[in-house]
């Protein structure tokens, strides 16, 4: 028997995912600030690109939260 599709907590889950992603962005920015002179240009570029994708994800989460509310 299939479970019923309960989406009542989607907005809360999306908010939590957005917050977790924002925390990861901050952590990686802190890492870059502390270790920028110790890491390669490629690693720095990779981290910056990943943060850009994370920013896009946060924007998508916020749009979806709006739709769910």
Residue 31 CB neighbour total at 10 angstroms: 13
CA–CA separation, 35 and 56 (whole Å)? 25
* Count: domains in the chain: 1
11: CB partners within 8 A, 6+ apart: 65, 68, 69
- Please give the chain's pLDDT, 69 residues, in tens: 677 777 778 999 999 999 999 999 999 999 999 998 999 999 999 999 999 999 999 999 999 999 887
Largest CA distance in the chain: 57
- Angle value at C-alpha 60, between 68 and 31, nearest 5 degrees: 130
* 8 Å CB contact between 61 and 18: yes
50 is a domain residue: yes
Provide the pLDDT for residue 55: 98
4 is a domain residue: no
Q: Which domain holds residue 52?
A: 10-68
């Amino acid at each position: 028997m299939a479970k019923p599709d309960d989406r009542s907590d989607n907005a809360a889950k999306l908010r939590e995912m957005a917050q977790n992603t924002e925390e990861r962005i901050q952590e990686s920015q802190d890492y870059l600030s502390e270790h920028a002179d110790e890491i390669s240009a490629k690693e720095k570029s990779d981290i910056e690109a990943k943060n850009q994708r994370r920013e896009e994800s946060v924007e998508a989460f916020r749009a979806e939260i709006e739709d769910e509310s």
